Amino acid sequence: MTRDVARSADRTSFGTTGMPGALRNPPMPSGEPSRMLSSTPFQSSSGECRLSERATGTDTMDERTRGSPDGGARIDPEYLRLLLLYYEEEIMGQGYFDALASANADPDQHAKLVLLGQVERHAANMVVALLGAYGLRPRDEAGLLSQGAAGADRHKNLGWVEFIHDMATSYPRFIIEFENLERLAPDADRPALKRLTLHEVLTIDFAERELARDPDSTQPLLSYLHVSPDA
């Protein structure tokens, strides 16, 4: 989400209503995910994230080229890599939004950030069953939450409108990445993955409503929390 335009000198702090401006992120440290599912500053349109086999707790990619849970065709190892990665990034996303909420003293904005964190967790829950079916083991959850929270530090000085504006304009490209995951998946997995993709669509809907000062801007997020992972 790095932008090239210089930020204005009259920055407002996070938790205020500063006008939209350019969002600059410094280069990610070595080893830190450059794409964080959805909705966080760790994402990049390339979807790059070099997780080691040791870090993921899984077998090597070649060893994970295995048959589907129902005994069907063998599964693309890239699909399994991204499935695990995107799950982990949703957990990091929860840590990210929760950390921003903790730093925001405005009651309305705080509540919306907490809700965004809940949506990230619910999105992760959409694919938990798939991880189990393929024997994919995520990294330690506490570590993922902590990693997401660390990523929030760079955005705590943003004005609220700037933060939401970036969400509305930057997040649509992540839908393309989720849809690519759907294309890689076996047919049986796609309903769960569509429910994962839906959270990004509804997060953008929230951001657009928030920019328009819709008093019911959180309705898309609240509706997502009622989507069952088993639907």
Residues 138, 91: contact at Cβ < 8 Å?
A: yes
Residues near 121 by Cβ (< 8 Å), separated by ≥ 6? 90, 91, 94
Q: Which CATH number fits domain 74-224: 1.10.20, 1.10.10, 1.20.1260, 1.20.1740?
A: 1.20.1260
d(CA 147, CA 93): 9
Considering only 42-51, 117-126, 149-158, 195-204, which range has the smallest mean pLDDT? 42-51
Residue reference for tokens 């909420």: 101
Asked whether the predicted pLDDT for residue 196 surpasses 50, the reply is: yes
pLDDT at 168: 97
d(CA 40, CA 89): 9
pLDDT in tens, 65-119: 455 555 556 889 999 999 999 999 999 999 999 999 999 999 999 999 999 999 9
Nearest to 126 by CA among 193, 70, 67, 179: 193
**Cα dihedral 43→198→228→70 (10° resolution):** -80
Residues 160, 15: contact at Cβ < 8 Å?
A: yes
Asked whether the predicted pLDDT for residue 30 surpasses 90, the reply is: no
Q: What is the pTM of this model?
A: 0.75
Asked whether the predicted pLDDT for residue 174 surpasses 60, the reply is: yes
